[in-house]
Amino acid sequence: MHKHADFFSYLSDHFQHTYWVPGNHEWYNSDMADRSGMLHEKIKDNVSLVNNAAVEQDGVQLIFSTLWSQISPAFAFQISQGMSDFHVIKYKGKPFSVEQFNRQHEESVSFIQKALQQKYAATTVVVSHHIPTFQHYPQQYKGSVLSEAFATELYDLIEAASPDYWIYGHHHSNVPDFTIGNTQLLTNQLGYVKCGEHAGFDRGKCLFRRGGH
């Protein structure tokens, strides 16, 4: 994180509070065993690194999780060969495995389920890196054997728990907002600028509390 001190200073100076949910790339060339599971670390007084953590901010319940997806045995070999995650992430000194990936998924889903059962604010927002549904999945990636490393179908959980919003990322494609039950799902991804993925990024996109500001 010391390599990005200027960026964190910018966030601190320009926003009331920034919550950083780690994705898969944050673990590249590092060992997940050193810092995984529940995280709520202060980088600055108003910049926090969070995973499997929930906070209340100005009357809004924020639920944060990387939400690693679930990989089935049918695609485990192809995904482990095709995704960089399994070549550049370590876990206790060994290459990150599909089994460990799925264990992280189970921890994420368990945390989100419990957090959603304990609603204590007027508005609830879930923020995940990985994608919580294959609904409205980018057309160009449909049918890819790697898709299970990006998304998990949590349609039933979302419909039943009914958070107000669910913000997600990971696939670098800005699809239109959509709903599952009473939940609005939305994304606003910068992606790889060098690959032109930033074209759909909206610098002014904001989320407003329902019935509030």
Q: What is the pLDDT of residue 9?
A: 95
- The answer to whether position 11 is within a domain reads no
- The answer to whether position 111 is within a domain reads yes
- The answer to whether position 101 is within a domain reads yes
- The answer to whether position 49 is within a domain reads yes
Q: What is the pLDDT of residue 156?
A: 98
Q: Is the dihedral of CA 184, 17, 169, 160 positive or negative?
A: negative
- The answer to whether position 10 is within a domain reads no
Tell me which residue has tokens 């449909």: 142
Q: What is the pLDDT of residue 85?
A: 95
Q: Is 111 exposed, middle or buried (0-12, 13-18, 19+ CB in 10 A)?
A: buried
Question: Which strands, in side-by-side order, build the sheet including 165-167?
Answer: 53-57, 60-65, 123-128, 165-167, 183-186, 178-180
- The answer to whether position 1 is within a domain reads no
- The answer to whether position 87 is within a domain reads yes
Q: Give the pairing of strands 30-31 and 89-91.
A: parallel
**Averaged pLDDT in 10-residue chunks for the chain of 213 residues:** 80 95 93 87 96 94 98 97 96 96 97 94 95 93 92 98 96 92 94 83 80 53
Query: Hey, what are 155's tokens?
Result: 């349609």
Q: What is the pLDDT of residue 196?
A: 84
Number of domains composing the chain: 1
Q: What is the pLDDT of residue 34?
A: 86
Q: What is the pLDDT of residue 209?
A: 62
- The answer to whether position 150 is within a domain reads yes
What's the distance, Cα to Cα, between the start and end of the chain in Å?
A: 33
Domain that holds residue 68: 19-200
